[in-house]
Amino acid sequence: MPIPLFGRPILIPLGPFLLAKKVGSPLLPLFIHLEEDSKHLIEVGEVIEPVGDVTTLIGRWVEVLEGFIRSYPTHWAWMGANWEEG
């Protein structure tokens, strides 16, 4: 499903969001980044409750992802062909 990330459509797997909606499980964003002392820090984001439709749920997740990328742009890597062409 194409969803805008920084204004550019990317392909996001629907599975985790459909599952969260089906079982009523909240999503918990976790990110890891490297500190200046070469230690890794795991940051836990705010819980995202599975309310609204799947597109709304994914949109809230992408907002959190964009915030992390803005905070640590050199720590972001996206493997694979997820940018939608066209």
The 10s digit of each residue's pLDDT in 41-67 is: 999 999 999 999 999 999 999 999 999
Least confident piece of the model among 10-14, 47-51, 73-77: 73-77
The SS3 of residue 3 is: strand
Q: In whole numbers, what is the pLDDT of the chain averaged over residues?
A: 87
Number of domains in the chain: 1
pTM of the model: 0.79
pLDDT at residue number 86: 47
65: left (phi over 0), alpha (psi -120 to 50) or beta: alpha
Amino acid at 46: E
pLDDT at residue number 3: 85
Q: Is residue 29 part of a domain?
A: yes
Place of tokens 């629907």: 14
pLDDT at residue number 85: 54
- State the residue range of the domain holding 51: 2-9+24-75
Q: Is residue 62 part of a domain?
A: yes
Place of tokens 């990317």: 10
DSSP state, 37?
Answer: T
7: left (phi over 0), alpha (psi -120 to 50) or beta: left
